[in-house]
Chains A and B, each alone.
Chain A
Amino acid sequence: MSAPKPPKGHFNILYFATASSHTGKDMEALPAPLPLRKLFDTLEERYQGIREAVLDHSLVTINLGYVDMPSSEDEDGEDNVTVIQEGDEVAIIPPVSSG
């Protein structure tokens, strides 16, 4: 998949497998910047139930690197500084099934 460049002020988010089924999309552009810890809330607002059905079982990458999802209760934590930037490529990675 080669995603088109996101519009100005946006990042791309890619949905695979169950994430794609749940959203009905392979990808979309969302407004940036967005703190990583707010990503799941943002998606839950748009796709009710996605957290429990998909996100809780999935990993997240930013620009092809895995990132730890900060827990939302820990808003002041040192680990919560990651911010998704304009032009970034974020992906929801459900459990894989190659082979």
Chain B
Amino acid sequence: MATQQPTQTDNSAQAQPPQTNPAKPTEISEPGIYVALTHDHLNYQSVIDRVRSPEAGAIVVFAGTTRNNFNSLPVQHLSYTSYAPLALRTMLTICRSILTKHGLKGIAMVHRLGVVPIGEESILIAVSSPHRQAAWRAGEEALEECKAKVEVWKREEFGGEGGGVWRANRDGAVGVKVDEPRIGKGEVDEKEDEGDSGNGGNDRKS
């Protein structure tokens, strides 16, 4: 018989990822943790309220907003796409780890999908802890982990003949231009930023 995938059912003890509907917010929550993907505007108050605790003396909130340029190239707008069930699972794993590591009372991470107009929030992270130091550190670490691992992709549209690119957080590398479908090699290789890593690839191996 064919071999079973070792990876299929390992994490069955975790919360089951919900079925995802692109038109609706998708979320997972468990005690002290809330993660979500949404096509709606992000709401500070609701994220803060997710982590509010009488045992916390500090809440730190990070807001990532969409910038109007990349290395001085004007960006007209950005859009985000995700592999929602996997992205939520990864967000949950990150939040569990950081909650424990920093002794947090709560952590919430919400990423927006679809077109995000310039200057608007694309991600909110809130953490609460008894004292501020842990909250500052945890907030930064949560964001860095998210940017390194969560299966969300940003596309920057430059407008005009500039087309658009899929951004890669790693090394700030530019992915393949997306202004036209392409079959075969063509100029793809020139557009790849090999970066220091030699492959510009993901930094995670499982």
Tell me the A residues contacting B by CB distance below 8 Å.
Answer: 1-2, 14, 16-18, 21-22, 24, 33, 47-49, 52-54, 56-59, 61-68, 81-83, 85, 88, 91, 93-99
Contacts and interface: CB of A to CB of B under 8 A. Distances in A.
B44 interface: no
B184 interface: yes
Given A1-B22, A16-B81, A16-B83, A95 B147 contact: no
Given A16-B83, A67-B206, A95 B3 contact: no
Contact of B206 (A2, A52, A66, A81): A66
Contacts of B46: none
Interface in B173-206: 173, 175-178, 181-186, 188-189, 192, 199-202, 204-206
Interface size class of B (residues with CB under 8 A): 35 or more
A13 to B, nearest CB: 12
Interface stretch (B51-59, B97-105, B133-141, B150-158): B150-158
A97 B188 contact: no
A96 B153 contact: yes
B83 A91 contact: yes
Interface of B: 2-3, 5-8, 10-11, 17, 19-22, 64, 80-87, 89, 111, 122-123, 143, 146-155, 166-170, 173, 175-178, 181-186, 188-189, 192, 199-202, 204-206
Contacts, number: 166
A21 B204 contact: no
20 contacts: A1-B22, A14-B83, A49-B185, A53-B176, A57-B201, A59-B206, A62-B5, A62-B7, A62-B8, A63-B7, A65-B6, A82-B3, A94-B175, A95-B175, A96-B149, A97-B169, A98-B82, A98-B150, A98-B154, A99-B154
